[in-house]
């Protein structure tokens, strides 16, 4: 078994699930377990400037330059340690299927959980290769422990192969990316990179410098409860207004009906009774103008229903989360994309440049002054029990990261 796979299998067995309802940072204390492990391993392999932010759960390190000053810029690599709150990350039981036959995979015979090629046809592309799957009761954690393992393996390889010449390399691992807080307390000065890549993408070849613009919307509805026998012209049913609110948003702009650069309103949660109801939405669009229009739509619906049912009945709190990093990568930092494409070509990897229907830590970091496109990890079906990754892809991505360290930067 290769080093990157050994690391990955070790890391996924540590539960690092983040919690979007938490008021702490990091959102869960268990993320510190993996942070401490990575800190120890970086020290053991001989990395320099290794630092573990014990309060905020970030890990930083450097690989010193060995090219005699030929490269004056510092290149960084970043992955996140947490896994999605959407599916349990506790007691992950990874399994390697060697020489995958291209058919359905029974993840859990007892529970009847099957990864079906009819639903996930992309997996058939890995016929004859090795894939890592779960037992169907948890997510796998390739998002983003595959990236963590790949960066750690790259670091160890560079430190043990001084014949590979490179400038200074910065490394960082972040918490809480899955709940949009990965860079809230990221120390750019300590990280010390001029440019960076997040290693947080999907299948091999994916290369992204365009993300959604993102916001959240929390709707609160105050109703009036009166005995149903006397309710006429008195009752204001908050639960029904909540349903009315959702029906007034464009139905074609839901995630299940959109693709590519099409944005959406995603109803994350709805709760309600006669007296009070609430709705939580994600708002997404790659186009900044359309993004702003979606936020205005939320406010218009709020204002209309508040007017209809009485002042103070319906209120909305809309908060921006991150923006499309494309406007920060173009035009001055496209050499980061060009370098990645060139390295992929040298390794026989077909580049797949496409917008992310999501976001990464790189979205926020790019707007904080650190240009930061996103590179693949080799995983698929993130955030759920059908998550899997390809062994050969992960091994090839380590080679890609190593090659990138030697490419010239402006």
Binding residue numbers for Zn(2+) = 80, 143, 178, 200, 383
CA distance 284 to 298: 12
Question: Cis link prior to 17 (omega < 30° from 0)?
Answer: no
Count Cα neighbours of 32 within 13 Å in the Cβ-side half-sphere: 11
Please check whether residue 145 is in contact with residue 199, taking contact to mean a CB–CB distance below 8 angstroms: no
Known catalytic membership, residue 135 = no
Instruction: Say which of 177, 210, 285, 361 is annotated catalytic.
Output: 177
The two three-digit tokens of residue 360, written as one number = 């990464």
What does residue 141 show for φ and ψ, rounded to 5 degrees?
Answer: 100, 10
Question: Cis link prior to 142 (omega < 30° from 0)?
Answer: no
Which residues, 6+ apart, have CB-to-CB distance to 231 below 8 Å?
Answer: none
Where do the H-state alpha helices sit in 310-405?
326-329, 335-346, 361-367, 391-404
| HEC sequence for 20-74 | CCCCCCCCCCCHHHHHHHHHHHHHHHCCEEEEEECCCCEEEEEECCCCCCCCCCC
Instruction: Say which of 82, 206, 210, 387 is annotated catalytic.
Output: 82
CA distance 103 to 87: 25
Please check whether residue 236 is in contact with residue 223, taking contact to mean a CB–CB distance below 8 angstroms: yes
Angle at 146 (CA atoms; ends 83, 124), nearest 5 degrees: 105
Q: At what angle do helices 335-346 and 391-404 cross, to 10 degrees?
A: 130
3-state secondary structure of 91: coil
* Numbered residues of the known binding site: 80, 143, 178, 200, 383
Where do the H-state alpha helices sit in 99-219?
142-160, 188-191
Known catalytic membership, residue 395 = no
DSSP designation for 308: H
The two three-digit tokens of residue 113, written as one number = 């959980």
CA distance 82 to 183: 13
Q: Which residues are catalytic?
A: 82, 177
């Amino acid at each position: 078994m290769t080093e990157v796979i050994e690391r990955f299998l070790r890391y996924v067995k540590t539960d690092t699930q983040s919690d979007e309802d938490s008021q702490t940072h990091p959102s869960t204390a268990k993320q510190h377990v993996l942070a401490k492990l990575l800190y120890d391993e970086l020290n053991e392999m001989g990395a320099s400037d290794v630092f573990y932010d014990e309060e905020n759960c970030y890990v930083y390190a450097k690989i010193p330059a060995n090219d005699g000053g030929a490269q004056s810029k510092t290149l960084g690599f970043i992955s996140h340690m947490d896994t999605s709150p959407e599916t349990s990350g506790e007691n992950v039981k990874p399994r390697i299927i060697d020489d995958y036959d291209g058919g359905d995979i029974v993840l859990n015979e007892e529970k009847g959980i099957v990864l079906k090629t009819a639903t996930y046809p992309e997996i058939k592309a890995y016929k004859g290769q090795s894939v890592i799957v779960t037992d169907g009761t948890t997510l796998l954690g390739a998002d983003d422990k595959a990236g963590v393992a790949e960066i750690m393996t790259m670091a160890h390889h560079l430190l043990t192969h001084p014949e590979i010449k490179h400038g200074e390399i910065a490394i960082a691992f972040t918490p809480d990316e899955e709940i949009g807080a990965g860079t809230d307390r990221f120390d750019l000065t300590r990280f010390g990179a001029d440019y960076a890549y997040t290693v947080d993408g999907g299948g091999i070849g994916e290369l992204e410098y365009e993300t959604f613009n993102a916001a959240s919307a929390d709707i609160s509805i105050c109703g009036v409860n009166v005995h149903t026998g006397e309710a006429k012209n008195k009752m204001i049913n908050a639960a029904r207004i909540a349903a009315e609110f959702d029906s007034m948003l464009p139905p074609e702009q839901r995630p299940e009906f959109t693709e590519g650069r099409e944005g959406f309103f995603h109803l994350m949660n709805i709760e309600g009774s006669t007296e009070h109801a609430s709705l939580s939405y994600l708002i997404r669009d790659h186009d900044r103008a359309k993004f702003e229009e979606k936020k205005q739509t939320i406010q218009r619906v709020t204002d209309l229903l508040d007017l209809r049912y009485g002042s103070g009945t319906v209120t909305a709190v809309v908060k921006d989360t991150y923006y499309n990093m494309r406007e920060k990568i173009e035009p001055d930092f496209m050499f980061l994309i060009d370098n990645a494409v060139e390295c992929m070509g040298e390794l026989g990897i077909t580049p797949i440049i496409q917008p992310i229907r999501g976001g990464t830590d790189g979205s926020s970091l790019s707007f904080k002054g650190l240009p930061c496109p996103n590179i693949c990890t080799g995983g698929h079906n993130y955030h759920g029990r059908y998550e899997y990754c390809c062994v050969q892809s992960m091994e090839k991505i380590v080679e890609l990261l190593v090659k990138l360290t030697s490419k010239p930067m402006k």
